[in-house]
Structure formats: C-alpha cells, structure tokens
C-alpha cells in the first residue's frame, strides 16, 4: 500500500464545493450499486472508465485497471459457481449445474463492481480527505476533529516508524531479515516504541489545544470552501438526475429479471429517457474536464 | 503599561520532584522582549506555564500573577486563551489538524468566531508570515521551521497581547531557528506584542532582549538589561549561564571594558577599540598531522534516491582516520544525513567504494556491521528507548548475550557513571531533558562497544553546559581509541572539539582541514569569534581563544 | 423474489452506515474533552499505520489487537470509536472503497465488544484473551463477507453466505492468529503505557 498520489493541480470537478463533488459521487455510486441491469452497468462502467482516464492520471488509472480487471474476472467466474439457479443449464461442474442465467448475471454484477471500484478511484482524486472531513464535520463536528487529527498523525507516524526501524537495526535488531516470528517480534517492538513516542506527543498536543481555548466554548466550524452560483447550478443538475435514477428504480426500469429465464431489457421511450439521464449524470466529470481542456487549448 | 506583574508568587507541584517556584517578583511592560534564562531544571518552564492559566501545572500557588492589572487565574477562559499565546518546543506535537488552513483557524473556531471573520483574519496572518504559499498544504508535508512558524501564526491569529515561547527553536536547525526568532522579533517590533521567551542557546535571542531574567533553583536571581546581565554573569560565578552568552558578550566579559557588545557588528567595533594602537600577533597555525589508519575510506561514491533523480552524493571521497573526531558541516538538505545513511547501510550507493575498517561495506552481511564495529547515534534519541526505566533499556543491550546478571549491572553502571547519568537510571526515558536523553542514548550505544561512532546532530536541543559535557565525553572516547564521525550544524561545537573539519556542498567535500585552518580560511562559514576578530588578528577560532586574546590586550 | 433481481449491495451498505450512527451520535452528544479522545486518535492512527507496516504478510495485521487493547483501557464506546475511525482514516489515507463502511463497522464492533468484555472482567486471563483474539479474526471476516455476498452474489442466501465464509476460513484464520499473537505480545506493556497516559491526562484535567 502506498499513499495515493493526489493530482498536482486541481481541475474540473475538484474545483467545485465539497457538497457538490461529494453529492455527485453519492449519486453516481448509489446508481451503480442500485441497478443490476446490463445497459445501466454498461453506461456506468463506460463513464467511470472515461472519468478515471481523464482525472486520475495515467499511472493511477492503469493501477486501478490492474486491480479492477482481475476482480471483474473473479466475480464473473465465481457467481455461476456459487449460484445454480436459472432455467438454461449449460453443463455440470462437480455435479453442480452451471446455467446461462448465472453466467450472465455474474458478468453484469462483476461489471457493476468494476464500475463501483473505478468510481471510487475518481472519488479519491476529487474528494480529498479535507473535503470529506468538511462534509462529515457538518454532521458530527467532534468526530470529524478526531478524524482530522488521526489523519495528521498517520504520515507523521509512518515517518517515525522508519526512523525507529533504522535505529533498531543499528543496534542489531533488524526486522527485515530472519525468521517470520523474529520479524513479527521485531515489528511489534517497533510499534511499541512508536506508541510510547506518539502518546507522549499526545500530551503536548492536548496542551496545545487547551492553550488555544479548546473545550470550554461553543465551537464554530471554519472551512475554506465557498458555495458559489456555479456550485448551486451543478448541485441542482445532480439532484435532478439523481431523482431520475430513483424514478427509474421505482418504476422498475432499472431492474431486470435474470431468473428463472432472462427477460431482455426494455427499450421503450421512457426507458431510453432513463438511460440518457443516467448517462448524463455519469458523463459530468469527464465533460467538465473536457470543457476545461478545450478552454486551455483556445487560450494558447 | 504593565502587561504582566508577578508578586510574591510561589508554586508547589502536587506530585513529582520538579523544581517549584519561590517568591517570584517581576514586571513586564507592554511591548517588551524578555528573555528568561537559567540552567536546566531551574523552574523557567514552570514559571512560563504558570502565566498561562490553561497550562498551569497541577499544584498549589501563593501570591499573584496579574495580566493587565487583573488576576490571571480569575479572568474568563476565552480571554486568557486568546490574549496569552503560548508556543512550545516540539514543532510536530503542537499541530492538531491535518491541513495548514485548518490549523490556523483552530483557535478561532474554539472561541466560536464566525467563518467570515476567521476567513479575513487567516488571510491577513498568512500574508504577514508568508504562509500563503503553503496555505493549502498538509501539515505533515512541512519542514520543521515551517511547522514552528505555523504554530506561531496559529497563536497570533487569536490576536494575543502577550506571547510566551518555551524554547521554541531548540528542535530546529540553526538556519531555521534564526528565521523563526527573527519572526518573533518582527512581531515584537511591528505589532508591539509583548514577548517572554526562554532559549537554551542565547546566541541569537540575547541581542533582541529588553531585559534578561536569570533564574536559579526556582528563584529569580537577577532581572537586568542584557548588557548589565553580561557584566553580572562575568563577575559572578555562574559558569553555565555565562557560557551560554553570545560570543561578543563573552569576549567583553573576559575584560569588562567599554560597552558590552551584543551583535557581531557591535563586537567588531568594540574589539577594534580594545586593540586600539596595540599590534597583537596572530597565533601561528601548527602543522597538523592526521593519523594514517583509515577507519572510513570513501572513494568516488555516487548516490541517487531513485533512477533519474538528481544525485545527492556526487563523486564523494573522504576518509576518517583512527582516533579522530571528524565533523562534516554544511547547509540544510546538502545531503549530509544521506551520506550518514549510506555509510550506515540504510541506503545503498550506486557507484564507488566505501571501506569500513578496511572491509568493503557491501561485504558486511545482516547486522554484522553493528557488532562491535559501528554504532549510530540518531537525531531522535527517543527511537532508541523501549522500556519504562532507563536501566532496563540499557540492560536490554545484553538480552541475547550470555553474560551474568552481575556483569550486566556492572557494565551498565560503568557506562552510566561515565555519561554522568547514574542518578537517572530509574527514571522513565521520556522524562529526561534533551541533554540527558542524548547522553542516555549515547550510553546505550556505547554498550555495544563500538570502534566507530556516527553522530547526527549530537548537540541539538542542548544547553551550553550539556554541550561542553558532550564534547568532553567525545574527546575521551577518541582518546581511548574510538573513531568519531559527526554531522552537525553547530559551528562553534565543531571548532572547539573536532580534529578534522569538512565542508559538504553539492554532494561532495569541498574543503577540509584542521578546525584552525578550516575556519580561519573560511570567511562566511566560520565561528563568531573569527568573524569578530579576523580584520585585526588572524587565526582566532573559538570563543575561549578570543577571550584569551582580549585578556592579553589589557 | 420473482419480480426481478433485488440488489442488496446498496441496501446493506446504507444499513451498516445507519447502524453506526447511534454510536457516533452518542459520542458527539457527550461533547468529549480533549483528554478523552486524543489517546484514541493516536491509537486509531497507530492501528492504521500498523496495518500498512505489516503488509508484508497477507491478512496478517495488528489492527484488531491494537483496537482491542485500546478498548480494554478506555471502554466500549471509546473502543467502537477507535475501531471505526481507524478504518475510516486509513482508507482516507490509502484510498476509499465500497468496503469502507463495512471495515468501520467490523472494527468498531470488535472495539465495542472488547470494551464490554473487559468491563465485566472477562479478558483478564490469557486464555480469554486468546479466545477473543480468535473470535476477532472471524467476526471481522464474516462481517466483510456480508458485503461480498450482498455486493455480487445474487439474492444473498444462507447457503451462498456460508460458502463464502468457508472460502475465507484461511485468510480469516491468519487474521485471527495475528490478533492472538499481537495481543499476547503487546497487551501487557501497551496497557501499562495507555494507563500511564490516562493518568497523566487525568492529572492535567483536575
């Protein structure tokens, strides 16, 4: 695990207010998880891949594919093995029937998970931890402050772990070599030193907080984010498209029958409208990014 | 206007054996810059914390501390939280949140200030301190100097009338420390904020002071303007504190003639007047012969952190000879610490050869290099300690060796005596002061019986007395045959105690020589004594030599 | 069931998030003092860092043990908070996924249970600690299996859930073993360290 590399320059959806970007991902990921339906999954996956390619940077995009594609294959294969429902039996594996319906369902649900994972990589680029804490802080300010402090500690502790490991090695205790048990023991020892160190520092942190008036008064919550007109417009669009999603789910346009036998997805006018609305939601990050890049080209 | 008035103040700790305060009386006027000094454990921290009600230690008080005429302990909390700012020693631990902007706003959030007001105040302050360039960064990404500046700015945002600073620069390297203290002075001069500060190293801050408060054993010894304080310290037996004075003040103290200079510029003028018509002779540089046996032998070493990155070590060659104390000096980020980590096998070099005691570094397998051979004193000595008492931590070195209990105890006691920490053996390692901790760390690695010691900033966070101790210990070790290589920013320490100095720049050793030769040839990168005297007398390097010269001129 | 594919992925995710709300709200309403939660933030960060540090052995993580030790000293509510925040913060740091709420819930629950058991003196003996450590590995694994099951196996049924749990027996077992090993290695000394700090903070407060 390495720390995710944030995009160097902020652009596109990142420049909107956290409520907008966070709301966007709630809408799009909810939609992704809601519809086990080949067209919706296809739209979601397509948009997710397009967005990820545009906003995550090449290296991270390829890394997410490296994780996503094997997962896709795994789920697509696992489903027919766990599930034996469906009318069309293709063959038997270890005395269990493998059905056409289960295979197709597996591919669709694998596509859904693949899309969800890719959307989350986009989320990680756009909704950085401070934005999340901002959203969280509006609901649970005290818990948000704890998270914020935990987050500031993690990189500090990672650096200290390295220092401790190096020092311990130089007095003859190397956690990178030797038997597994030796390595575990040496690692536990490094963590022990880390915990003393960190708790000792925590006493100072508490002092520093009290010195700056924490704890006695009613706290206000400050943020550097400002909600502008363009945020309002974008948020309205997202809410509207999300409403369409909900409507699609309620009317049944977003569900499809796989068992006992597959019923082909509907393609009536209203269904096509739902597909378009969903695609419109999915394309937002890529569209904003595209628009911005065109602007820059013109300016050159 | 009296900002702080302390009358007959006494304090007793409820538990523990820290120094209490007795009959403290002093006043600080609005806009004054007060330096509080005294040997470690004299109670200066307790005094500073007592002025800030939120940080007052647990215990009983007598007497009174007034802040603008009102009893500080009966003032409402939001007033003292905002109007008395406090900056502590540890730059990291004071930071609460993960983003610079959030950290700045933290204090005002606590007071319930509305967002628009916070926004404009944060903007103002970020501009004032030049923070706006890293305003959106994560706090973890900042350098030590930036972190401490952030801590100062976060306190300033609450618009304090008084700022108390408890050894704020002792964890910073000298360049960052100077910048930080200049910022403190700027606040004092431009905004009229009253400052009360303690520092181990008075070199920088002494000249800024309107008054200096000297403490000893929980009492105030003297409260005087800096010039008079220098005279007092020179006339009275106060070894430790006198040694902490800046070089110009000490040279003045050795003769007590004229007006006490506080800066190098004043010092040069003062020295000129002292020399007057006399024509003192410059001491002759003795030929310096280095021992022949090479303990570290580095030849044409190159190092990059990753492929394609800028080389940090470029064609580096140097050697450290047996029994030498060898110092490597150089600016921040020049790669000195990287060089140490390459020599101690933390990182692998790309090209060239490094021999330790005649054996190629890559031939040392596992932890072989550290078995009775090399030992490293890390910058953060905390990373060495695991247990609840120092004694257990020292004994632990022998945990996997077949030595009798009695023998272990004997060895531990011997090294503890040598480091003068035998009275601290039953303390928790984390309860030691900076200097004590550094000595304890040295004791621990000496138990490994190394032939070669690598030290990274051994004097960081130490007061004058601890530095002298450390220097003496190093010299004794060298005399008994150990070889020492240290990386340091501390020019004065290096001039006084090392046998061989090297200037590290741009990835290699640019110049080297005996300290005398090295520092008398340098014109910028040299000691205060040299800068003060070089226009009239050459080859004066250490403060002691300067003092001697001054006395000879009488 | 006949009316098309029901999707439990989203529903279960919303449910698990809702299940955490009362715990977090409770903490929020208490308006906790700095001294009460700073050690928890530290331990949550250490649990997260420990997870990264031991990445060299798959599924072998000290996180559960660290949460259990914290909960034993600071109680069930604090245990839940430490567990949940540790999962959330480490995912915020290393990258968020759909599994975040599940990990939060699983580690939160482990912390809560540890606090509860310890409060009633049920984690004093080494034997009890070992048993609970083993339980932790499986509690965590089985909760995350609900997500895997609901996420992509059609119409979550007992059979498919149980077969998922059987396939995850070995990774969960490694996690259980790690938890037991770290509990045995660390619980005494870390308990002492935490109590030292708790005391230090207690003094500061009075």
pLDDT tens column, B157-168:
999 999 999 999
- Residue B28 CA to its chain's centroid (Å): 27
Helix axes C76-94, C63-74, angle to 10 degrees: 150
- The whole-number pLDDT of residue A6 equals 43
| A197 lies within 8 A of chain C by CB | no
Q: What DSSP element (H or E) covers B419?
A: none
Closest CB to B113 among A148, A209, A220: A220
Chain-chain contact of B90 with A202 (C-beta, under 8 angstroms): no
Which 14-73 residues of chain C touch chain A by CB within 8 A? 24-25, 27-28, 31-35, 37-46, 48-50, 52-57, 60, 62, 66
ipTM tops the 0.85 cut: yes
- Assess C162–A contact: CB distance below 8 Å, yes or no: no
- Residue B82's closest chain A neighbor by CA? A212
Query: Do B58 and C192 lie within an 8 Å CB cutoff?
Result: no
Q: Are A59 and A4 in contact (CB under 8 A)?
A: no
C-beta neighbour count of B61 within 10 angstroms: 15
Q: Tell whether A258 is within 8 A of chain C (Cβ).
A: yes
Q: Is A194 an 8 Å CB contact of chain C?
A: yes
Candidate from A149, A170, A172 with C-beta closest to B96: A149
CA angle B233, B237, B241 (to 5 degrees): 50
Helix (H, G, I), strand (E, B) or coil at B534: coil
**Which candidate, C197, B535, C138, places its Cα nearest to that of A204?**
C197
The pLDDT value given to residue C202: 67
Same-domain pairing of B301 and B198: no
User: What contacts A162, CB < 8 A, 6 or more positions away?
Assistant: none
B276 found inside a domain: no
A15-19, A43-47, A199-203, A238-242: which range is least confident on average? A199-203
Q: What is the largest distance, in Å, between two alpha-carbon atoms of chain B? A: 71
Is 70 exceeded by the pLDDT of residue A1? no
Q: Is B35 helix (H, G, I), strand (E, B) or coil?
A: strand
Give C119→chain A minimum CA distance, Å: 23
Whether the model clears a pTM of 0.90, i.e. scores above it, the answer is no
Distance in Å, alpha carbon of C42 to nearest chain B alpha carbon:
11
Token digits for B217? Answer: 């054993």
List chain C residues with CB under 8 Å of A187: 53-54, 62
Query: Which token pair is B381?
Result: 């000595």
Taking each helix axis from N to C end, the angle separating A58-82 and A100-126, rounded to the nearest 10 degrees, works out to 150
In terms of DSSP bridges, do strands B359-360 and B219-224 run parallel, antiparallel, or are they unpaired? Answer: unpaired
Is residue A83 pLDDT above 80, yes or no? no
- B36 beta partners: B198, B213
| Residues in chain C, pLDDT under 50 | 1-5, 205-206
C3 vs B: CB within 8 A: no
In a domain, B26, yes or no: yes
Of C99, A169, C95, the C-alpha closest to B448 is A169
Residue with tokens 């700790």: B13
**Order of strands, edge to edge, in the sheet holding B59-67?**
B21-29, B2-13, B59-67, B70-71
Chains that touch C (3 or more CB pairs under 8 A): A, B
Structure tokens at A209: 């907080």
C191 touches chain A (CB under 8 A): no
pLDDT given at position C156: 61
Query: Distance (Å, rounded) from C-alpha B79 to C-alpha B72?
Result: 10
Across the interface, do A224 and B86 touch by the CB < 8 Å criterion? no
User: Rounded CA gap, B322 and A82, in Å?
Assistant: 72
d(CA C182, CA C168): 21
- pLDDT at position B32 is 96
CB contact under 8 A, A187 and C193: no
Interface partners of chain A (CB pairs < 8 Å, 3 or more) are B, C
A251 C-beta neighbours (distance < 10 Å), count: 12
Q: Judge whether B133 is closer than 8 Å to chain A, CB to CB.
A: no
Tell me how crowded residue C100 is: count the other CB atoms within 10 A of its CB: 18
CA–CA gap between residue B268 and residue B23 (Å, rounded): 40
A14-28 mean pLDDT: 94
Residues with Cβ < 8 Å from B124, sequence gap 6 or more?
Answer: none
Residues 6+ apart with CB under 8 A from A131: A18, A21, A22, A225
- Local confidence pLDDT in tens for the 554 residues of chain B: 899 999 999 998 877 666 789 999 999 999 999 999 988 778 898 999 999 999 988 888 999 999 999 999 999 988 999 999 999 999 999 999 888 999 999 999 999 999 999 999 999 999 999 998 899 898 988 988 999 999 999 999 999 999 999 999 888 887 888 899 999 999 999 999 999 999 888 888 999 999 999 998 899 999 999 999 999 998 886 667 888 899 999 999 889 888 899 989 999 999 999 988 788 888 887 777 889 999 999 999 999 988 888 889 999 999 999 999 999 998 777 788 889 989 988 888 888 999 999 889 988 887 888 888 899 998 888 888 888 889 988 988 887 777 888 888 999 999 998 888 888 899 888 888 777 888 899 999 999 889 999 998 888 878 888 888 899 999 999 999 999 999 998 899 999 999 999 999 888 999 999 999 899 888 888 899 999 998 899 889 999 999 999 998 88
Q: What confidence tier does A5 reach under pLDDT thresholds 50, 70, 90?
A: very low
Query: For residue B101, what is the enclosing H or E element?
Result: helix B100-110
Strand partners, B392: none
Name every residue whose Cβ is closer than 8 Å to that of residue B539 and which is 6 or more positions away in sequence. B282, B283, B284, B285, B516, B520
> Which residues, other chains included, contact B400 with Cβ-Cβ below 8 Å and sequence gap of 6+?
none
- CATH number of the domain enclosing B318: 3.40.50.300
Residues B470, B459: contact at Cβ < 8 Å?
yes
- For chain B, the chains sharing at least 3 beta-carbon pairs closer than 8 angstroms are A, C
Q: What confidence score (pLDDT) does residue B296 get?
A: 94
Number of domains within chain B: 2
Pairing of the two strands B84-87 and B2-13:
unpaired
Same domain, yes or no: B241 and B341: no
Q: Please choose, from the candidates A33, B73, B159, B105, the residue with its C-alpha nearest in 3D space to the C-alpha of residue C97.
A: A33
| Separate counts of helices (H) and strands (E) for chain A | 9, 2
- Sign of the C-alpha dihedral, residues B461, B463, B468, B470? negative
Q: Do C34 and A202 touch (CB under 8 A)?
A: no
Task: Assess A26–C contact: CB distance below 8 Å, yes or no.
Answer: no
Q: Is B271 inside a domain boundary?
A: no
**pLDDT for C108:** 96
Contact A177 B366 (CB under 8 A): yes
Measured between CA atoms, the residue of chain B closest to residue C201 is B58
Q: Rounded to an integer, what distance in angstroms lies between the CA atom of residue A94 and that of residue B336?
A: 65
Give the model's pLDDT for residue B209: 95
Give the per-residue pLDDT at B103: 94
Residue B23 has a pLDDT of 93
C-alpha A277: how far from its chain's center? 22
Nearest CB partner across the interface for A79, out of C98, C152, C181: C152
- Contact yes or no for A170/B344 (Cβ under 8 A): yes
**In the B/C pair of chains, how many CB contacts fall below 8 A?**
6
The DSSP code for B138 is: B
* Residue ranges making up the domain that contains B500: 294-527
Altogether, the residues listed in chain C come to a count of: 206
- Tell me the C-alpha to C-alpha distance, in Å, between residue B310 and each of B54, B302, B313, B335, C201: 48, 11, 9, 11, 47
**Per-domain residue ranges for chain A?**
15-133+241-299, 140-211
Alpha-carbon torsion angle A280, A286, A292, A295, nearest 10: -80
Kindly identify which residue of chain C lies nearest to residue B15, measuring between CA atoms. C203
Find the largest Cα–Cα distance for chain A. 75
Q: Cis omega (within 30 of 0) on the bond before A260?
A: yes
| Interface touch B430/A196, C-beta < 8 Å | yes
Q: How much is the pLDDT for A2?
A: 37
Q: Would you call A45 helix, strand, or coil by DSSP? A: helix
Residues with Cβ within 8 Å of A268's Cβ and at least 6 positions away in sequence, in order, are none
Most C CBs within 10 A among A202, A252, A263, hence the mutation to make, goes to: A202
Side-chain-facing half-sphere of A181: CA atoms under 13 Å: 3
Residues 6+ apart with CB under 8 A from B307: none
Q: Does the residue B217 lie in any domain?
A: yes
Split at pLDDT 50, 70, 90, the class of A130 is: confident
Q: CB C22: neighbour CB atoms within 10 A?
A: 10
**Cα–Cα distance, C53 to A164 (Å, whole number):** 12
Does C8-205 carry CATH code 1.10.1760.20? yes
Domain residue spans in chain C? 8-205
Tell whether B344 and B458 lie within a shared domain: yes
Tokens of B379: 């910058």
Q: Do A154 and C37 touch (CB under 8 A)?
A: no
Q: pLDDT at position C163, please? A: 80
Q: Give chain A positions within 8 Å (CB) of B306.
A: none
Answer whether C154 touches A (CB < 8 Å).
yes
**Looking at chain A from residue 212 to 271, which residues have their Cβ under 8 Å from any Cβ of chain B?**
212-224
The C-alpha atoms of residue B341 and residue B334 are separated, in whole angstroms, by 13
């Amino acid at each position: 695990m390495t720390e995710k590399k944030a995009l160097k320059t902020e652009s596109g959806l990142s420049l909107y207010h956290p409520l907008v970007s966070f709301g966007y991902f709630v809408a799009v990921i909810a939609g992704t998880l809601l519809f086990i339906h080949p067209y919706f999954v296809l739209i979601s996956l397509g948009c997710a891949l397009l967005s990820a390619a545009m906003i995550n940077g090449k290296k991270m995009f390829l890394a997410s594919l490296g994780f996503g594609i094997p997962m896709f294959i795994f789920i697509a294969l696992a489903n027919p093995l766990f599930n034996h429902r469906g009318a069309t039996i293709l063959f038997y594996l270890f005395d269990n029937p493998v059905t056409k319906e289960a295979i197709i369902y597996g591919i669709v649900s694998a596509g859904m998970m693949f899309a969800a994972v890719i959307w989350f990589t986009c989320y990680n680029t756009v909704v950085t931890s401070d934005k999340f804490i901002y959203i969280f802080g509006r609901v649970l300010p005290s818990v948000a402050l704890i998270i914020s402090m935990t987050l500031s500690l993690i990189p500090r502790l990672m650096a200290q772990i390295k220092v401790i490991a190096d020092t311990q090695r130089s007095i003859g205790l190397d956690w990178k070599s030797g038997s597994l048990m030796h390595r575990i023991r040496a690692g536990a020892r490094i963590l022990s030193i880390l915990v003393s160190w960190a708790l000792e520092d925590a006493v100072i942190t508490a002092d520093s907080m009290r010195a700056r008036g924490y704890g006695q008064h009613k706290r206000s919550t400050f943020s550097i984010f400002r909600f502008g007109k363009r945020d309002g417009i974008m948020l309205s669009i997202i809410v509207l498209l999300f409403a369409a999603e909900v409507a699609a789910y309620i009317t049944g346009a977003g569900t499809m029958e796989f068992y006992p036998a597959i019923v082909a997805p509907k393609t009536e006018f209203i269904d096509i409208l739902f597909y378009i609305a969903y695609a419109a939601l999915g394309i937002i990050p890529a569209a904003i990014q595209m628009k911005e890049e065109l602007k820059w080209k013109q300016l050159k | 206007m009296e900002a702080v008035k302390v009358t007959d103040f006494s304090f007793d700790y409820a538990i523990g054996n820290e120094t209490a305060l007795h009959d403290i009386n002093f006043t600080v006027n609005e806009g004054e810059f007060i330096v509080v000094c005294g040997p470690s454990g004299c109670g200066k921290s307790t005094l500073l914390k007592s002025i800030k009600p939120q940080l007052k230690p647990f215990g009983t008080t007598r007497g009174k501390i007034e802040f603008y005429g009102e009893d500080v302990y009966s003032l409402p909390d939001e007033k003292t939280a905002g109007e008395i700012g406090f900056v502590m020693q540890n730059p990291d631990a004071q930071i609460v949140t993960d983003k610079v902007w959030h950290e700045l706003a933290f204090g005002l959030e606590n007071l319930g200030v509305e967002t628009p007001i916070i926004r404009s105040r944060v903007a103002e302050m970020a501009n004032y301190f030049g923070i706006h360039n890293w305003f959106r960064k994560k706090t973890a990404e900042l350098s030590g100097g930036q972190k401490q500046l952030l801590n100062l700015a976060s306190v300033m945002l609450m618009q304090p009338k008084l700022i108390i600073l408890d050894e704020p620069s002792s964890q910073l390297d000298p360049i960052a420390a100077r910048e930080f203290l200049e910022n403190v002075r700027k606040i004092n001069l431009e905004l009229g904020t009253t400052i009360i500060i303690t520092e181990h190293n008075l070199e920088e801050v002494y000249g800024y002071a309107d008054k200096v408060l000297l403490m000893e054993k929980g009492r105030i010894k003297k409260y005087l303007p800096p010039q008079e304080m220098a005279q007092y310290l020179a006339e009275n037996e106060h070894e430790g504190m006198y040694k902490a004075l800046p070089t110009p003040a000490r040279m003045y103290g050795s003769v007590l003639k004229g007006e006490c200079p506080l800066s190098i510029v004043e010092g040069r003028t003062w020295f000129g007047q002292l020399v007057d018509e006399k024509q003192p002779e410059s001491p002759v540089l003795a030929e310096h012969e280095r021992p022949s046996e090479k303990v570290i032998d580095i030849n044409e070493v190159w190092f990059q952190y990753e492929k394609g990155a800028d080389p940090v070590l470029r064609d580096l060659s140097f050697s450290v000879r047996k029994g030498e104390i060898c110092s490597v000096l150089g600016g921040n980020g020049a790669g000195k610490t990287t060089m140490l980590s390459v020599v101690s096998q933390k990182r692998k070099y790309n090209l060239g050869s490094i021999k330790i005691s005649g054996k190629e570094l890559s031939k040392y397998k596992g932890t072989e290099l550290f078995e009775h051979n090399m030992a490293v004193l890390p910058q953060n000595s905390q990373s060495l300690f695991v247990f609840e008492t120092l004694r257990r931590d020292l004994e632990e070195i022998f945990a996997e060796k077949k030595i009798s209990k009695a023998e272990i105890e004997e060895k531990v006691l011997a090294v503890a005596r040598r480091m003068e920490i035998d009275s601290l053996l039953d303390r928790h390692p984390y309860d030691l002061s900076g200097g004590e901790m550094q000595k304890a760390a040295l004791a621990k690695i000496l138990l490994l019986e190394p032939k070669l010691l690598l030290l990274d900033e051994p004097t960081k966070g130490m007061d004058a007395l601890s530095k002298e101790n450390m220097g003496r210990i190093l010299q004794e070790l060298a005399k008994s045959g150990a070889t020492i290589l240290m990386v340091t920013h501390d020019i004065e320490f290096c001039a006084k105690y090392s046998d061989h100095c090297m200037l590290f720049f741009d990835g290699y050793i640019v110049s080297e020589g005996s300290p005398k030769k090295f520092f008398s040839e340098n014109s910028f990168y040299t000691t205060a004594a040299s800068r003060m005297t070089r226009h009239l007398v050459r080859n004066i390097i250490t403060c002691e030599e300067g003092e001697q010269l001054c006395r000879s001129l009488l | 069931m006949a009316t098309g594919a029901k999707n439990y992925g989203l529903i279960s995710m919303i449910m698990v998030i809702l299940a955490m709300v009362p715990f977090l709200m409770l903490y929020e309403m208490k308006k906790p003092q700095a001294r009460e939660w700073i050690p928890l933030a530290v331990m949550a960060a250490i649990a997260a860092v420990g997870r990264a540090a031991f990445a060299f052995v798959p599924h072998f993580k000290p996180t559960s043990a660290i949460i259990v030790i914290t909960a034993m000293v600071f109680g069930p509510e604090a245990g839940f908070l430490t567990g949940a925040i540790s999962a959330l913060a480490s995912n915020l740091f290393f990258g968020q996924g759909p599994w975040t709420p599940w990990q939060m819930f699983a580690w939160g629950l482990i912390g809560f249970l540890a606090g509860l058991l310890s409060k009633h003196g049920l984690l004093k003996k080494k034997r009890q600690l070992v048993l609970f450590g083993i339980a932790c590995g499986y509690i965590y694994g089985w909760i995350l299996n609900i997500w895997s099951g609901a996420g992509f196996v059609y119409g979550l049924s007992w059979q498919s859930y149980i077969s998922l749990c059987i396939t995850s027996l070995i990774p969960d077992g490694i996690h259980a073993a790690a938890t037991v090993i770290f509990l045995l290695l660390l619980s005494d000394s870390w308990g002492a360290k935490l109590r030292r700090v708790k005391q230090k903070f207690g003094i500061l407060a009075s």
